[in-house]
Structure 1
Amino acid sequence: MTQRRLPSGQGPTRRPGSGGRPTASRTRNTGPIRVPSSRRTQGSGSEKGGAAAERTDAPRPRALTGRATILIAVFVALALAYTYPLRVYLEQETQIAQMENDQDRQRGDIAATAKELEKWQDDEYLRIQAREKYFYVRPGETPLLVYYDAAGAARDADEKTPAAAPDRWYDTLWSSVQAANAEPAN
């Protein structure tokens, strides 16, 4: 008795009762054995000395069926249909975030302006600002304004005025050329 091989090319399966542990049969019922038409005309297997009929390979199922192709096409169409609304959505989210940032900045400006306005409501702050910016004084006070005058400070300190900056080299050269030209000829 010959042992059958599995379609995957593995070795023989163990059959219950043939020793060892019993396992489930891994063969599947593929229907009747297909015999090529040339063999049918020659006679049955018993006429050839009992040889077993030759099996033909069953057609392999296609990797991509019609349903799978349609499903993939539907997914691609849906993906293409959702790209534009998704892009618009993301642009709107960006605009919303930008507007919120602008609003936060404006709220900060408003708060700073309100704080400045609150300062100007205080009488003492008004006096300080009038004194610093407009040189206002209270009745009975004598204002003292100090201006920086370098020449007057040097004169008052009995110091010489600062020396003039030296001439540039090309001015010195030109003045020597003019002096040489002004000498009387002997």
Structure 2
Amino acid sequence: MSARTAILALVLSALALAYAYPVRTYFGQRAEIEALEAQQAAQRDRISVLEAERAKWEDDEYVATQARIHLLLVRPGEKPLIIISDPEGAAKDAGEPYEEPAPDAGNWYEELWSSVDGADGAG
């Protein structure tokens, strides 16, 4: 190997080492910029969803509907209908005796599995 080749190799390796850190920094910053742009796009989407929700609440009919659903408010002249989820209390209010439901053989998934086992054994 000649002296010129050795000096050229030394200069090229020095240049490669000199440019390695800035190039790595550049790619790291590009990745960070792309991540921040994606985050901004997600925030813009969230803002548009919230603005649409706010626009709904500016409509008087929407507010009245939400009040009817969540606060159980009714308009004058309407009769409210409240569904009771307590079967024993509902039977007592209706003046009928409460009958305990028959015990299940199991949960729905146990019934499903037993039908799969039965079908497998029948074949």
Shorter-chain-normalised TM-score: which range? 0.7 to 0.9
TM-score when normalising by structure 1: 0.50
Matched, 1:160 2:75: no
TM-superposed CA distance for 1:81, in Å, is: 0.6
Question: Given residue 64 of structure 2, which amino acid in structure 1 is its aligned partner?
Answer: R
CA distance in 2 between partners of 1:66 and 1:157 (Å): 110
Change (3 A) 1:154 1:162: farther
Residue in structure 2 matching 1:141, options 34, 56, 78: 78
1:152 shift after superposition: 3.2
SS at match of 2:75: coil
Residue of structure 2 in register with 1:106 after alignment:
43
Q: How many residues align?
A: 101
In 2, the alpha carbon distance for the partners of 1:103 and 1:158 equals 62
- Alpha-carbon contact 1:154-1:161 (below 8 Å) kept: no
Superposition TM-score, scaled by structure 2 size: 0.73
Between the two proteins, what is the percent identity of the paired residues? 44
Opposite residue 100 of structure 2, the aligned amino acid is T
The answer as to 2:24 corresponding to 1:91 is no
| Rounded Cα–Cα distance in structure 1 between residues aligned with 2:100 and 2:53 | 47
In structure 2, give the amino acid aligned to 1:148.
S
SS of the residue aligned with 2:30?
A: helix
* Distance (whole Å) between structure 2 residues aligned to residue 151 and residue 144 of structure 1: 18
- Equivalent residue for 1:69? 6
CA RMSD of aligned residues (A): 2.0
Structure 2 gap segments, 5+ residues each: 104-123
Decide which structure has greater helix share.
Answer: 2
The higher radius of gyration belongs to: 1
